[in-house]
């Protein structure tokens, strides 16, 4: 994944609600879980 793909993926994930991000943590896809956790941290200030 290059820098542009990373930024696009993170930007798309940031648009999700906290509930959607929490659900994404249960995904089988490691990248989805990674971005969900990162965006949850950003959203909650943890």
pLDDT bracket for residue 6 (50, 70, 90):
very high
Please check the confidence at residue 46 and state whether its pLDDT lies above 80: no
Q: How confident is the model at residue 45 (pLDDT cuts 50, 70, 90)?
A: confident
How many domains are contained in the chain?
1
Among residues 25, 30, 28, the alpha carbon closest in space to that of 41 is found at: 25
Q: What pLDDT, in 10s, does the model give residues 17-43?
A: 999 999 999 999 999 999 999 999 999
Q: For the full predicted model, state whether its pTM sits above 0.85.
A: no
- Quote the pLDDT of residue 44: 87
Torsion of CA 36, 33, 46, 13, to 10 degrees: -10
Range of 37's domain? 3-44
CA distance 35 to 42: 11
């Amino acid at each position: 994944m290059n820098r542009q793909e990373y930024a696009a993926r993170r930007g798309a994930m940031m648009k999700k609600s906290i509930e959607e991000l929490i659900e994404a943590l249960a995904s089988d896809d490691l990248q989805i879980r990674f971005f969900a956790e990162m965006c949850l941290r950003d959203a909650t200030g943890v």
